[in-house]
């Protein structure tokens, strides 16, 4: 039995005026759910290059600065509904410019605060990361 290699991807946390940029996923996995913009890393890209490309492709936005926030492993063997295992580098994006528009595999883009995020179909890891950003940047306030 062949052992499948994890898919390397990126995700970006963009926050403006207390609201997080989310895309409605237009493709599986998690089609129709909200998540941070992101996607697969190309073979010749660094994680940072992939993050910038994915942000532009999915939303039309650009980030002045990226900092690594966390790396997560989303495994198909952990009882999740993932069809593959993903190794995901998550970046915090600063100085985000442009007008957000849904493009590529994003069906829609939204800016939501944490309370609004908790009421929609959103991946658990996305909501947890947003709550952690609020805790770090706002000293614990969740709104």
Q: Is the dihedral of CA 95, 132, 106, 5 positive or negative?
A: positive
Enter the tokens of residue 26. 């237009």
Residues, the chain: 143
| Signed CA dihedral, 84, 85, 87, 91: sign only | positive
Query: What is the rounded average pLDDT of the residues 105-118?
Result: 93
Which pLDDT band, with edges at 50, 70 and 90, does 143 fall under? very low
Strand partners, 13: 92
Q: Is residue 31 part of a domain?
A: yes
In a domain, 15, yes or no: yes
Domain presence at residue 131: yes
Confidence of residue 86 (pLDDT cuts 50, 70, 90): confident
Task: Tell me the pLDDT tens digit for each residue of 17-61.
Answer: 999 999 998 777 778 999 999 999 999 999 999 999 999 999 999
pLDDT of residue 125: 86
2 lies in some domain: no
pTM listed for this prediction = 0.85
Residue 1 lies in a domain: no
Structural domain boundaries, residue 125: 7-138
Domain count, the chain: 1
């Amino acid at each position: 039995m062949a052992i499948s290699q994890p898919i390397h991807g990126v995700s970006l946390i963009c926050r403006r005026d207390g609201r997080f940029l989310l895309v409605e996923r237009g493709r599986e996995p998690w089609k129709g759910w909200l998540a941070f913009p992101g996607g697969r890393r190309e073979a010749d890209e660094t994680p940072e290059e992939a993050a910038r490309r994915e942000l532009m492709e999915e939303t039309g936005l650009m980030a002045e600065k990226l900092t690594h926030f966390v790396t997560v492993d989303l495994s198909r063997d952990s009882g999740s509904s993932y069809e593959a295992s993903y190794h995901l580098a998550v970046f915090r994006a600063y100085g985000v410019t442009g007008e957000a528009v849904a493009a590529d595999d994003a069906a829609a883009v939204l800016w939501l605060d944490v309370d609004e995020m908790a009421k929609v179909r959103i991946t658990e890891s996305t909501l947890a990361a947003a709550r952690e950003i609020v805790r770090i940047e706002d000293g614990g306030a969740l709104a």
